[in-house]
Amino acid sequence: DAEITQSPRHKITETGRQVTLACHQTWNHNNMFWYRQDLGHGLRLIHYSYGVQDTNKGEVSDGYSVSRSNTEDLPLTLESAASSQTSVYFCASSGAYTGELFFGEGSRLTVL
Amino acid sequence: KNEVEQSPQNLTAQEGEFITINCSYSVGISALHWLQQHPGGGIVSLFMLSSGKKKHGRLIATINIQEKHSSLHITASHPRDSAVYICAVRRYGGSQGNLIFGKGTKLSVKP
């Protein structure tokens, strides 16, 4: 069965360190998205991609970057982690025509 | 004021009850999603709709574009329906995945 997986599921890091969260999907979807979920804010879009070599900024992109070198993967990098980036991160993908979203299980990141 | 408002924020029901969760939005939209998130778990897409009504098992979603309102109904509720239900909209002319999310409705169904 097709799926979308995130790793690591839990990570604790220190302020200033670089962190990369992985997202891998086997749906062969062109569209991939990264969201963060925080109490009181709900889900917010960080970055998204509509295909290989395409990346776009979302609502809360400062301090984050993504790259899309193949269809399956969209890693999210925090160049210099800050405590404000402590959150639960969700990756999602969707087909070009249906628009239905498929989410990963989430990655809980704690920045100390 | 949030562009997507859900009500109620919290809902407790007895097993078997009919449940309604509401979503109101203030922008023009091209699609509306209903999502389900179990405690500590991932997010599952229940429905995506742009008009009318959709049904899947015991779940029914309706949307009224003119009134900018959508409802999610659960018939014959069960404890396994306990979860957070999230409404999200795609602005008219907006891109897929670039959604505005509501803050969710936490549902607890007691046996």
Q: Does B104 touch chain A (CB under 8 A)?
A: yes
Segment A78-106 shows an average pLDDT of 92
Strand partners, B83: B107
Structure tokens of B94?
Answer: 């907006």
Structure tokens of A85?
Answer: 């980036």
Q: In the prediction, which pLDDT does B1 show?
A: 65
Q: Which residue has the tokens 């396994």?
A: B80
* Contact flag B97-A100 (C-beta cutoff 8 Å): no
Q: In the prediction, which pLDDT does A96 show?
A: 72
* Contact flag A42-B103 (C-beta cutoff 8 Å): yes
Task: Work out the number of other CB atoms within 10 angstroms of the CB of residue B95.
Answer: 17
Residue A49 phi/psi, 5-degree rounding, is -145, 140
Nearest chain A residue (CA) to B41: A105
In chain B, which residues have their Cβ closer than 8 Å to the Cβ of A50?
95
Average pLDDT, chain A: 94
Q: In the prediction, which pLDDT does A95 show?
A: 81
Q: In the prediction, which pLDDT does A43 show?
A: 92
Segment B7-30 shows an average pLDDT of 96
Give the whole-angstrom CA distance, residue B102 versus residue A29.
Answer: 25
Establish, for the pair of chains A and B, how many residue pairs have beta carbons separated by less than 8 Å. 55
The pLDDT tens digits of the residues spanning B52-108 come to: 999 999 999 999 999 999 999 999 999 999 999 999 999 887 776 788 999 999 999
* A103: nearest CB among B43, B98, B104: B43
CA atoms within 13 A on the CB side of A71: 8
* Contact flag A45-B97 (C-beta cutoff 8 Å): yes
Q: In the prediction, which pLDDT does A39 show?
A: 86
Write out the DSSP string of B8-42.
-SEEEEETT--EEEEEEE-S-EEEEEEEEE-TTS-
In this predicted structure, the answer to whether residue A99 has a pLDDT above a threshold of 90 is no
Instruction: Give the distance from CA A33 to its chain's centroid.
Output: 6
The pLDDT tens digits of the residues spanning A40-65 come to: 888 999 999 999 999 999 989 999 99
Strand partners, B70: B23, B63
* Contact flag B45-A102 (C-beta cutoff 8 Å): yes
Q: Does A88 touch chain B (CB under 8 A)?
A: no
Q: Does B32 touch chain A (CB under 8 A)?
A: no
Q: At a CB cut-off of 8 Å and minimum separation 6, what does A88 contact?
A: A36, A37, A38, A106, A107, A108, A109
In this predicted structure, the answer to whether residue B2 has a pLDDT above a threshold of 90 is no
The pLDDT tens digits of the residues spanning A15-46 come to: 999 999 999 999 999 999 999 999 888 899 99
In chain A, which residues have their Cβ closer than 8 Å to the Cβ of B104?
42
